[in-house]
Structure 1
């Protein structure tokens, strides 16, 4: 029996198929009992197997999400859908629309607009006094 959420790929703990609960008393043993009392709520089912069976034996197509084969398959499909498809599509779209690092294309467009403007006005692209001559420090003739 599947829980109503397992068809949506949500793994919820199953309370009906859980092993019987055992409680060990934490109180000090009285002289009558002699040891900590173990109380079983349900009668222990006799089992012929010795230990747990590998999930691969129960379900040859085990994906590692759940012991139930149907729930395991749904959880695998939902996990891969969100983990691969959505992450690649949304992540790729996000990376594509990030602004350009360094703004190189913006700088080139701005330079092309400035060149067109200066050609239209008849001004040289770069003036002969591009740098302020008062701020340039030239080495003296003695240093050579």
Structure 2
């Protein structure tokens, strides 16, 4: 993301006639003007590939002033930008938030409370005490014989 923003800023500077490299503010971990880093001007013998790439960017920006950085063709640039924002915003954020909203609750606390309230009402309806010292009915438990221990 930051690299894409850096490329866009570099393209705008090239379009306005400024050099590709210069003072960069806020590039450090602290950001802001206190972290400004001044880089030396580019050497006279800049790499040929970078120079050609910058010329291509300037040509694309002059051809299409509303250049979004997706394609040199203006029509494809707009369509690619729209698709990127549709999938990035609509699908990721909206569908992702909907998915997270409808996830089952963690720990099932609400279900446990509803189940406890249902059990209390059932025991009150049958005339049994709400709480019993035996969790299971002792007459239904099968215990091992004492001589097997």
TM-score of the superposition, structure 1-length normalised?
Answer: 0.49
Q: Which protein shows a greater Rg?
A: 1
TM-score of the superposition, structure 2-length normalised?
Answer: 0.47
Tell me which protein shows more helix as a share of its residues.
Answer: 2
Q: Which has the higher contact order (CA 8 A, sep 6+)?
A: 1
